[in-house]
Copies of this chain bind each other. A is one copy, B any other.
Amino acid sequence: MSNINETEIATLGEFGLIDHLTKGLEMKNDSTLKGVGDDCAVISNGGGDTCTLVTTDLLLEGIHFDLTYCPLKHLGYKAAVVNFSDVYAMNGTPRQITVSLGISKRFTIEHIEQLYEGIKLACKTYDVDMIGGDTSASVTGLLISITCIGEGQKGKIAYRNGAADTDLICVSGDLGAAYMGLQLLEREKAVSKNSQKDDFHPAFEGHEYLLERQLKPEARKDVIEELASLGIKPTAMIDISDGLSSELMHICKQSNTGCLIYEERIPIDYQTACMAEEFNLNLVTAALNGGEDYELLFTVKLSDYEKVASMHKVRIIGRITKPEYGCLMQTRDGNEIPLKAQGWNAFG
Taking Cβ atoms with an 8 Å cutoff, the residues of A that contact B are 1-2, 4-9, 11-12, 14, 17-18, 20-22, 25, 27-29, 31-32, 34-36, 40-41, 43, 45-50, 52, 54-58, 60-64, 67-68, 71-72, 95-96, 98, 100-103, 105, 107-114, 116, 120, 127-141, 143, 145, 147, 149, 151, 346-347
With the chains together, A140 CA to B100 CA distance in Å? 18
Contact B137 A140 (CB under 8 A): no
Q: Which residues does chain B contribute within 8 Å of A347, judged by CB atoms?
A: 136-137
CB distance from A291 to the nearest CB of B (A): 14
Question: CB distance A109 to B7 under 8 Å?
Answer: yes
* Partner pick for A21 among B2, B29, B45, B112, CB 8 A cutoff: B112
A–B Cβ pairs within 8 angstroms, 14 of them: A2-B71, A9-B108, A9-B137, A27-B131, A29-B127, A35-B131, A46-B48, A54-B147, A56-B132, A56-B145, A62-B139, A63-B136, A63-B138, A98-B147
Known contacts A36-B133, A45-B46; 4 further A-B pairs (Cβ under 8 A): A1-B68, A17-B135, A36-B130, A52-B52
A7 to B138, Cβ gap below 8 A?
no
Number of copies: 2
Bound together, the chains give a CA A46 to CA B49 distance in angstroms of 8
Q: Are B95 and A32 in contact (CB under 8 A)?
A: yes
Q: Known interface pairs A52-B52, A96-B41. Does A127 touch B28 (Cβ–Cβ under 8 Å)? A: yes
Smallest beta-carbon distance A112→chain B, Å:
7
User: Does A110 lie within 8 Å of B5, measured CB to CB?
Assistant: yes
Inter-chain CA distance A11–B108, complex, in Å, is: 10
Interface residue from B12, B101, B130, B134 paired with A25 (Cβ < 8 Å):
B130
Q: By the criterion CB–CB under 8 Å, are A7 and B100 in contact?
A: no
